[in-house]
Amino acid sequence: MNKDNSNFSDLEFRIGYKFKDVRYLENALTHSSYSNENRTYRRINNERLEFLGDSILSIVVSKYIYKKYPNYPEGDLSKLRAQVVCEDMLNEIAIKLDIGGHLILGKGEESMGGRSRKSILADAVEAIIAAIYLDGSLDDADKFILSNLESSINKLVQGKIFSDFKSYLQEHIQEKEVNPKLKYVIVNEEGPDHNKIFFIDVYINKEKLGGGFGKSKKSAEQSAAKNALIKLGVLNE
């Protein structure tokens, strides 16, 4: 998008926030590649806004999950927050809001597909959060963040969005046990070599925590770890 013909009203509508000073939004959408190629462009790019937005995002999500899940220990809250504020989640927001179509990029970055680059889109979402905060208030930023992430937070807690259940189980057990030893054991294999199903159980010491299956050993281990987390009451079915 060219700076001179930018029209952000449709984006403001999707964001759900009308800027009093649209230059905040313009800055949030301006990638460093544009300001680097246009030395006379006096407005800042979105790197500083991204820095601020990252902190605001963390505060809002931390406050929400702290109040929403009062029985979660610190370790589980940290794990959940990390999953919520990750690049993949922010990229999904950017795609939903068509932020890529409004990015102000340098010609080089444009030619290399920067408009759909995950890291650039995620950074732009953080910058928009900061822009909303500076133009409005923390409540406005809070509203934007939770309107886009609240359902994902709930799905994460319910285990309906894929996550690294093996790592999650390892971290959860480490908080409860000293030097825990998790072991994944193949208990059965079914089907021909080109379409095999693996059945795996996960143990801590000699205690079976859960079992799962999948078309690869890795997916079966993730399934077993997820079922173990459900059995332990960390995830809901």
Give catalytic residue positions: 54, 126
The residues facing 210 across adjacent strands are 202
Q: How many CA atoms lie within 13 A of 217 on its CB side?
A: 5
Ordered strands of the 197-204 beta sheet: 182-190, 197-204, 207-214
**CA gap 61, 82 in Å, rounded:** 10
Q: Which residues contact 73 (CB under 8 A, 6 or more apart)?
A: 175
CA–CA distance, 162 with 98 (Å, rounded to integer): 24
Nearest to 73 by CA among 209, 172, 178: 172
**DSSP label of 189:** E
